Amino acid sequence: SAQNTTTTFQYNLLKAMVISPPSLSLTVTTGAMNQTPSEPTLINNTGNYNVSNISLTTINLYGETYTSFYIDVGNFTIDIDTGGTPPAECAGGTSLTNGTAVNITNSLLDRGNHSVNDGVTGQEQFYYCIPEVPPVPTQPYSTSAGGSWTITILAAAFVLGNRRKRKKSKKNILEILEKRLKKRKISLDELTALEEKLRAEYGTTISQLLTEAIKVKPEIKVPIDIFKQAIGPSEALCKFLKENKGLTYHEIALTLNRNDRTVWLNYRNAVGKKETKIKVSRKTLHIPVNIFTDRRLSILETAVNYLREKGLKNAEVAELLNKDPRNIWTLYSRAVRKLGK
């Protein structure tokens, strides 16, 4: 006879994170510039909480032989981006402070399929740098005496609303989304909730809707010589799109697949370093702006990868970007590794 085998269960909120590697190490010499570890700290969000803030509390590194000497963690900087010359984590990273929880600028760790391993989905990466190694005696320095560094993760709970099947076109949904964003009545948590509802009720995502919206706009071409400026690649790109193309911060964020805060920060830093508008030569090579949406790569890695894939040699790319060919080789090798080619 037929049996009712229905089982009722409740899926609770789960906070779970996996951090790797468990430790950092690097070998440096006094006076050396822009020293970075061989790999970043990778955090995987293996639960179903959204993380809205990540901070790092660091302790000075004390000598293991001459224990009265130490390296102040104020000599370290941290960033969620890398690439460029000097690397982004060295040029524009957040400075650390001994015994103080320092918020990592622009860090987000929303839940997602972290197994994609793209550095974005369900993941966040921290890149460290010592812009200039201080003059201290040669010996091992570690956290053994002062205490370990601590990553603090603030999770934001998420609750789904009632699910009701509605028939609306993507155009209608996009119009609603645009109105809410223009009025700035949507928070990060609300945006996350909207993403879940779009998936459940309409079988689409915010990313898909925005991609369609961007497709209807004329494709923007980026002159390659903007990266010759005496500002960071991300800063140069945001400044060009803001001042030369007239895009808003939000439009730039959508175009580059970045968040508004990151764009605003890059533009602010760019203006602080270069007040005048970027001048573009008519004869310069132009590349499509949509190549910069892949967040696995830094802005400069993306540009180098695109040019190399178009058949240009390292020396030719170096001349276009006014860089050392060895730096181009490093950037392209890093891009190939990140993309798993």
pLDDT for 111 equals: 74
Band (174; pLDDT cuts 50, 70, 90): low
From residue 73, how far is each of 48, 62, 131, 191, 276 by CA, in Å? 33, 10, 12, 36, 35
CA 190, 191, 195: angle at the middle one, nearest 5?
A: 115
Model pTM score: 0.46
Q: Which residue has the tokens 């790999």?
A: 39
241-107-302-280 Cα dihedral, nearest 10 degrees: 20
Give backbone dihedrals phi and psi of 234, rounded to 5 degrees, phi first.
Answer: -65, -40
pLDDT digits (tens, 9 = 90+) for 19-44: 888 888 889 998 999 999 988 898 88
* Two structure tokens written together for 309: 């894939």
Query: What is the rounded distance in angstroms from the CA atom of residue 254 to the CA atom of residue 171?
Result: 17
Question: Quick check: 159 pLDDT over 50?
Answer: no
Provide the residue count of the chain.
341
Q: Is 48 exposed, middle or buried (0-12, 13-18, 19+ CB in 10 A)?
A: middle
CA angle 201, 205, 208 (to 5 degrees): 135
109 vs 221, higher pLDDT: 221
Answer yes or no: are the C-beta atoms of 102 and 149 closer than 8 Å: no
Spatial distance between the Cα atoms of 330 and 338, rounded to a whole number of angstroms: 12
pLDDT tens profile 72-91 = 999 999 988 887 778 888 88
Alpha-carbon distance 272 to 250, whole Å? 20
